[in-house]
Structure 1
């Protein structure tokens, strides 16, 4: 009997610990990061680097070298929502952002010209 209760308590504690994080927290929503707008490539092919905040290393490229300029960036990423990125933020500017879920029916026209960006892309919201 005591073994059964002890097993139940341990199982409940493990379950509670593994589910304590909300889905919002695990997707990055609500966590603020500081970034620098590194490269404003044509057709909204933007490159950014995280300069403050503990971002999941799987979400960004540890290092990325722009093949056009041979310049290397750390914690680099592109964005999946360039039409939501504020036009008043320019290359070299620093800003704060949150990672947000992608909108389902986003109507956004962007030209198709290519400029290299990191493979890792985030859907971000600027939160100055």
Structure 2
């Protein structure tokens, strides 16, 4: 009886640990990724590619080709919070980031001119 109860407790602990880890990985909370700033399109229409880190493939475009230049990028994404992106990072720069929850009421004005970006958008925070 004690062995069965002990096994059940261990199984529940393992299940909880696995579920907690996969939930965090899916949301990206606290996970650091390395990216390259690929395209600085007008009006904060930015394109990035993940170059290091195991990111959920559903969060980024496996490949994306810029229709303006015909250049293809792998693990590409745009950002949904361009006003929070540091102005000191320029096209071609490499940086680390975390995926963060979107702000409820962002105070951000961006012009409406269009430049193509990947359909997948992430809300990111640059970390060093």
Which residue is 1:58 aligned to? 58
Q: How far is 1:19 from its partner? A: 2.8
Give the match's secondary structure for 2:21: coil
SS of equivalent to 2:12: helix
Structure-1 separation of matches of 2:20 and 2:93: 36
Per-residue CA deviation, residues 88-123 of structure 1 (Å, 9 max, x unaligned), is 101111111111111111110001111000001100
Q: Distance in 1 between matches of 2:66 and 2:25?
A: 31
Q: Which consecutive residues of structure 2, in runs of 5 or more, have no partner in the other structure? A: none
Count of paired positions: 128
* Partner Cα separation in structure 2 for residue 74 and residue 15 of structure 1: 34
User: Corresponding residue for 2:33?
Assistant: 33
Cα RMSD (Å): 2.2
How many Å separate the matches in 1 of 2:95 and 2:14? 38
Gaps of at least 5 residues in structure 1 are none
What TM-score do you get using the length of structure 2 for normalisation?
A: 0.87
- TM-score, normalised by the number of residues in structure 1: 0.87
Provide the rounded CA distance (Å) in 2 between the counterparts of 1:88 and 1:32: 20
Deviation of residue 17 (structure 1)? 4.6
Residues 25 and 57 (structure 1 numbering): CA distance in 2 closer, same or farther, change over 3 Å? closer
